[in-house]
Amino acid sequence: MDERNTGLGFLVILALALVLPATSHVTSSYVTLTRDGYQNVVVSIEENSGFASCQEGLDTVKELIRSTSKSFAQALERPAYFGNVTIIFPDSWAADPLCSPLLTSANVSDLPWARSHRADIRVTPDHPVFGWQPHSFQYGLCQQSGLPINVPSSFLTTDTVLAKGIRMAREWAHYRYGVFDEGGMPSDQRHPAGYLTYQTESSDKILRPNTCSDLKTPSGSWSSENCQSTSTADSTCEFVADVNNPDIRSSLMYRPDLDHMEKFCTKENHDDSVPSKLSYHCGRLSASEVIYKHSDFNPGVTPANTSADITFNVIQNPFSGYHVVLDMASFKDAKSFEIARSSLMQFVSFFVDPIWLSVDVYNGYNVTELQPPIVLDSLIKSELLLEIAYLEYAASSSDKFGDALSRAQSRAYSGQDVIILTAVQTFSSLSTWVKSYEDNKVNAHLVHFGVSTTKVDIAQLTRYGSSNFVPNVINNRAMSAYSWAVNTLQSIYGKTRTDRAKIFEQSVIQNSTSTDLNKTGSFYLDSPSSRLLVSLYCMDASNAVNVESFTLVQPNGLRNKTTYPMAFEDFYTFTMESALEPLPQGLWRFEIIFLSILARPSDKRLDIWAEPANSSQIQLRTWNSALDNQPLDFTKAPVGLYAQLTQDNKPIRGANITAFVYASDSGGSTSSLLAEIPLMDEGISDVTSGDGIYSGFMTKPSNSSFSYSVYYWAYGVNSLAQVDNGVYSRQPTTGSVIPMSDPVPAAIQFNRFEYGPSFQLTTLPTNGFDQIPPQRITDLTILSYDSSSRTAVLGWTASKDNYGTGDFVTNYRLERSIGTRETVTTDYPSLAIVDGTVNVTVEVPSVNEGEYVKYRVQGRDSFNYGEVSNVVSLAGPAPSTGGLSTAGLWAIIGTFIALVVIILIIVLIRCCCPVEAKRRKRQAQRKMRNLFSSNDTATRRAEDTPVTRYQSPPPPVQSWTSSDMNRDGGDPPAVRRESHSSSSSSDKVRPQQQPQVEVRQKKANPAPGSIQGSERIYFGREDIDRMTTAQRSETYSERLDGAAKPIVYERPYKPNPVSSRPVSSQVTSKGFSYIHGPNNKPLSQSETNLYYTDVTLRPPQRADGVPQPSSAQSSLASTLRAGLRVNEEWRDSNNIIYTDPRFDGQSNGQSSFDPQLHPANQVGLPPALPTVPPPNFPRMYNSDVGYADDHRSSHMSMDQYGVDPQRMSRSSSKPSLVSAV
């Protein structure tokens, strides 16, 4: 076999082009929302993004940001705009002379904190699976931010993609605020596009679309004919909304591509009963409510200024390297310091990229610059390693550690990340530096070696970096504090600089000093690599490694022997790379030969990292719930542990990932394994199955430790881990699973190891007091429904205590809600658990159409309630689709029945009492005809009174008097009521006319048989004309000679003062037009009511009393009041003067009134009076007036009907006997 020297003879390629840019790292964002909008938004443009030129790329990205800002602002009631955006060019653009003038600043110190790997929005080449679709994957709970937004370049450059701003606003809600999608996907078990639900009025199910909009359902259609019937509908049914839904404005978390979509769902139109991701994870909260719960919108925060312009900063990636602070004074002993020193030396030995490195050492009194910022070459690296190796432990105070932090912050201004190796937990000026590091956005990474049961307060410095606690693992031949520290530093490098993947780790055990000197083994390189980094070191940093030679054998048999490694007493490292072609994938072997020593050799550890030659390398990225590296409240939610596994940006499925959690023991000096937590990508723990994000939860914390250390191991065997070579054209964030169309193995086998980050808790579990609630129920289901008894059977998997790690709980609380009504809760203290499930029967109440009965359940232990479950619902009666609703139909039926009953009552009354009606009719006709056939003036008038008053509050009155027309020497002034009624059209039925009655006197308590008072009744000429020309029941001569005849008087005459009233054919505000004849002369007021008579009033008689004689006046008054009763027939004639006193009419020519022709002065029937034609309006017959001889009819006034036009219109349309009111 050929042998090649892999020492200094290796061609070390430091060209920047071979260093792949780091992928997105999941940490807290730099973004804040102020009055000037979102500040510190970072947008990175990756290499090979597909733009024709850097100018086109920059202009396109700026336009996208403006559109996103506008769309997101208009989607909220409280506007939030983009204010300050930093765009980072790819390295190839920054080095291009044609592109460099586009940079707004070439000085790294202007924006030293910005990082490409921490960008909020990443402009990338088209995704190999999701194509042009922008996406931000979500992995955590509601309101927990998602992964950075990936924007494929074709999304920006393709003109056929519409609503780009709205789509990006949706992704910003995913990323910034943890808002989930609304809607669903076909065949999705948890979030289907259409789903079947029971109805409250039927045992059948109905098919509902999974939508969220202003309306219950936007216009659209189902995907197939099978979906039209519930008997044939299945999980593949999808409701497809029309793109043009002009009435739909929300929610853009459902369909941002609809033409008029522009708003987030609000509390008013959020439907939490649909099985969308938002309803499932956020419950009752709408998209807007989730956003407003973020600290960006706290009540004290001033809303963003809508007029603020976006400020763009265009820079190259300011990351320049690392500044390391080694705190010698904080370690408890020399052995702990040796671990930190040796791990730093290994970190420096693998420093092969052309980036800066500087090192400061704090000894308790001052800060020493061990290495100023420099790009290391092999010679400088060797000298630096020697200087670090000569450092000696010296315990001292940490009070002046702020000086070291000050120097580190100054290095951060030049674009360096800060790495702090210390064992200090706190010091006097820590709070000052915490605020300074946060304000200046220092990217600080803590590697903490102090094992303790108390909190590590210094971790607050890492708001924009990472916290890593090195556990003091002892008596473990596979793990030690030294190996943990070495791997932690390499993980920091891989996350911040390049994709340096840990592919192999193994303990190398020597059982004797003489015979066990040769060690061999193998590892699998799953993809071509540009560089391999190999480290062999003792598990105890104080021991010597004693290596004679180290050889790597490639899959093709080519041997690579290392002759010039970085060899120190406790470690042996080297780097292998090839200049001609990538290092091949396949099964590699290693051969180690140790030196023979007298003492028993210590256990060794072999670690191998690989850097990718192309995008096919499998990448593992890890994080936890503490994105800002602040302590977590375990009583509110379990600690989430997450890992993302990808190959060429494609999600890998079917892999095995485990998180190993270590915590300090009760003594605080050692650490041990607390839990092994499997991480899953099944769509339950991590929201979406198939997105490559594996999730798990730490549900049982330590009783003694605040700090926890985590490392992850991911592996795939037998080609079971797969990626999708197909294309998924649907939105990848909507369903609970992303289906694969063309699965292929990601690799035959692979291993990945990742250390950190760590996390802390705010409090420790208290013995004797339960602080941890039961797990959330996620599968509440309606098992059956019986509409006849209105009972439903609900079922769910029994909840376990302590986030699912304890025993089953039997105490549950069930919530029932209907629309906006008050929620009803029912507690079940002890439900039976059968085969791990719980069933309960509930009564379902009646609901209105369009409403839903919703149910939720939550488990309860002795003190705590778990989170509420998913929602299940039953639909009420279907809402109206244009026909009559059930309530409306019953209202119509009820009204019809009432009308039938009323008609039957009227018919029965008329049929039972026809004789009495006819008798009254004939009596009224006789009295009127006899009255005007007599010239008897013997009847005396009623007693005069000086007071005029009304029986009910009158409308405004208008009075007039005449000095030359009176009766008996002095006539009280006549009173005319002025009407305020009007009609909007001349063809409407005029209001009912009533007799005008003036009460002259009314005694409170008259003696029996005495006169109670008097009244004056005004009537018109047409009344006389009708009564004297109608068919009579008896003639005047048939009347008794002794019958008293009434005295009729003329009304005083006064010309109409409104002689200049305009003439019009339109309806006036008084109710009708007043054009009458060619001369259009107004009719005088004296012609509106021509005559009057006085009537004596007597109190009502007892049934056994002697009836009082009626005067002619009272007979006339009763007749005038009674008018024409039902079934009376009169000949209708237009040869009369229309004299409604409520309106001013007009007639043709001179007044036709002649006092000499007054019928009271004639014998027999009065001659026909000269008249002019009146306006042709329908006459109204008053059927509601009183009967003759009834004194209560004198109470008639306009008030009785003036406020009820409908009641007035119910009268007959026959001519009125009395035209006065």
Q: Tens of pLDDT along 365-414?
A: 999 999 999 999 989 999 999 999 999 998 888 889 999 999 999 999 99
Number of alpha carbons in the 13 Å side-chain half-sphere of residue 910? 9
Question: Which residues, listed in sequence order, are joined to residue 695 by a DSSP beta bridge?
Answer: 642, 680
Average pLDDT value for residue range 2-14: 34
- Give residue for tokens 């048939």: 1038
Check whether residue 536 and residue 550 sit in a common domain.
Answer: yes
In a domain, 1180, yes or no: yes
Would residue 14 count as lying in a domain?
no
pLDDT for res 637? 86
Higher-confidence residue: 194 or 1052? Answer: 194
Domain of residue 448, CATH code: 3.40.50.410
Per-residue model confidence (pLDDT) at position 71: 93
Lowest mean pLDDT among 511-520, 863-872, 1138-1147, 1166-1175: 1138-1147
What's the confidence (pLDDT) of residue 217? 76
Regarding whether 967 and 905 lie in a shared domain, the answer is no
1022 domain residue, yes or no: yes
Q: How many CB atoms lie within 10 A of CB 1131?
A: 9
Buried b (16+ CB within 10 A) or exposed e, 228-262: eeeeebebebbbebeeebeebbbbbbbbbebeebb
Q: H/E element holding 621?
A: strand 618-624
6 or 911, which is more confident: 911
Which of 5-9, 507-511, 724-728 has the highest mean predicted lDDT (pLDDT)? 724-728
Q: How far apart are CA 134 and CA 127, in angstroms?
A: 9
Do 104 and 172 belong to one domain? yes
3-state secondary structure of 539: coil
1086: DSSP letter: G
Indicate if 888 and 929 belong to the same structural domain: no
Top-confidence residue, 694 or 999: 694
CA distance 721 to 55: 41
CB count within 10 Å of CB 429 equals 16
| Residue 308 sits in the same domain as residue 341 | no
State the pLDDT at residue 268. 84
79 vs 517: which has the higher pLDDT: 517
In the DSSP assignment, the letter for residue 1003 is -
What is the mean predicted confidence (pLDDT) over 806-829? 89
Find the Cα–Cα–Cα–Cα dihedral 1097, 1103, 1106, 1107, rounded to 10°: 40
List, in order, residues 6 or more apart from 911 with CB less than 8 Å away.
Answer: none
User: What are φ and ψ of residue 157, in 5° steps?
Assistant: -95, -15
Most confident of 472-481, 922-931, 1178-1187: 472-481
Same domain, yes or no, for 628 and 731? yes
Q: Between vectors from CA 1073 to CA 1072 and to CA 1078, what angle results, nearest 5°?
A: 150
Strands 586-594 and 518-525: antiparallel
Integer CA distances (angstroms), 850 to 215, 217, 755, 821, 854, in order: 11, 11, 54, 14, 13
Segment 981-996 shows an average pLDDT of 41
Contacts of 820 (CB under 8 A, 6+ apart): none
Q: In the predicted model, is pLDDT for residue 1127 greater than 80? A: no
- Are residues 563 and 598 located together in one domain of the fold? yes
Beta strands in 330-432 (DSSP E): 356-362, 367-375, 416-422
CA distances from 123 to 133, 379, 562, 731 (A): 12, 39, 42, 18
Q: Does residue 980 carry a pLDDT above 90?
A: no
**Range of 172-176, 1121-1125, 1170-1174, 1202-1206 with top mean pLDDT:** 172-176
Instruction: Look at residue 1117 and tell me whether its pLDDT is greater than 80.
Output: no
Helix 401-412 / helix 430-439 crossing angle, nearest 10 deg: 10
For the chain, give the percent of residues with pLDDT over 90. 47
pLDDT at 992 over 80: no
Read off the pLDDT of residues 148-176 as tens digits, 9 standing for 90 and up: 999 999 999 988 888 899 999 999 999 99
> Do the domain assignments include residue 6?
no
Return all residues near 798 (Cβ < 8 A) that are at least 6 apart.
808, 809, 810, 833, 836, 837, 838
How high is the mean pLDDT of the chain? Answer: 78
Of 271, 299, 316, the last residue of a domain is 316
> Tell me: the pLDDT tens digits for 443-467?
999 999 987 778 899 999 999 999 9
Residues 370/373/375/381 CA torsion (nearest 10 deg): 0
Where helices occur in 636-778 by DSSP H, the ranges are: none
Give the pLDDT mean for 553-582: 92
Amino acid at 791: T
Q: What is the pLDDT of residue 440?
A: 95
1024 and 956 inside one domain: yes
Same domain, 1049 and 983: yes
Domain check: are 569 and 442 in the same one?
Answer: no
Which CATH number belongs to the domain containing residue 846 in this structure? 2.60.40.10
End position of a domain, from candidates 564, 599, 614? 614
Q: CB within 8 A of 37, min separation 6: which ones?
A: 69, 80, 81, 82, 83, 84, 304, 305, 308, 310
Task: Provide the CB-side half-sphere exposure for 605 (13 A, CA).
Answer: 22
pLDDT for residue 184? 92
Between CA 409 and CA 940 the distance in angstroms is 121
Per mean pLDDT, which range of 297-301, 305-309, 716-720 is the poorest?
305-309
Q: Which residue has the higher pLDDT, 993 or 189?
A: 189
In this structure, is the dihedral angle defined by the CA atoms of residues 893, 897, 898 and 902, taken in order, positive or negative? Answer: positive
Owner of token pair 């021991």: 543
Check whether 1047 has a pLDDT greater than 80. Answer: no
d(CA 364, CA 788): 82
Neighbours of 196 (CB within 10 A): 15
Residue 1094 counted as domain residue: yes
| Lookup result for tokens 């049934």 | 1103
CATH number at 627 reads: 2.60.40
Q: How far apart are CA 929 and CA 1034, in angstroms?
A: 8
Cα distance between residue 276 and residue 254, in whole Å: 9
Q: Which of 106-120, 173-187, 811-825, 1089-1103 has the lowest mean pLDDT?
A: 1089-1103
The number of distinct structural domains making up the chain is 7
Give the mean pLDDT of 688-695.
Answer: 94
Residue 1017 has pLDDT above 90, yes or no: no
| pLDDT > 70 fraction of the chain, expressed in percent and rounded | 71
Residue 1215: pLDDT above 80? no
**pLDDT over 80 (residue 1055):** no
**In the prediction, which pLDDT does 1007 show?**
56
**Banded model confidence at residue 1003, pLDDT cuts 50, 70, 90:** low
β-partners of residue 797 are 837
1097 and 1185 housed in the same domain: yes
pLDDT band for position 766 (50/70/90)?
confident
pLDDT of 1180 strictly over 60: no
Q: What is the pLDDT of residue 632?
A: 93
- In this predicted model, what pLDDT tens digit does every residue of 838-882 receive, in sequence order? 999 999 998 888 788 999 999 998 888 998 998 999 988 765 545
Q: Output the pLDDT for position 703.
A: 85
* Residues 6+ positions from 1055 with CB-CB distance below 8 Å: 1084, 1085
| 605 shares its domain with 651 | no
Task: Assess whether pLDDT exceeds 50 at residue 3.
Answer: no
Closest to 183 (Cα-Cα) out of 266, 240, 229: 240
Listed range (652-656, 996-1000, 1140-1144) with the worst mean pLDDT: 1140-1144
Domain membership flag for residue 650: yes
**What b/e string do you get for 468-495 counting C-beta neighbours within 10 Å, with b at 16 or more?**
bbbbbbeeeeebbbbbbbbbbbbbbbbb
Question: Given this model, what pLDDT does residue 575 score?
Answer: 94
Query: Facing residues of 1057 across strands?
Result: none
Confidence band for 1064, pLDDT divided at 50, 70 and 90: very low
On whether the CB atoms of residues 570 and 480 are closer than 8 A, the answer is: no
In this structure, are residues 164 and 70 in contact, taking their beta carbons and an 8 Å threshold?
no
Do the domain assignments include residue 193?
A: no
> CA dihedral defined by 917, 921, 923, 925, rounded to 10 degrees?
180
* 319-362 pLDDT per residue, tens: 999 999 999 999 989 999 999 999 999 999 999 889 999 999 99
Whether 985 is in a domain gets the answer yes
CA distance 929 to 939: 17
Look at residue 852 in the predicted model and tell me its pLDDT: 87
Residue 1181 pLDDT > 50: no
Residue 1005: CB partners within 8 Å, gap ≥ 6? none
Structural domain that includes position 476 = 320-480
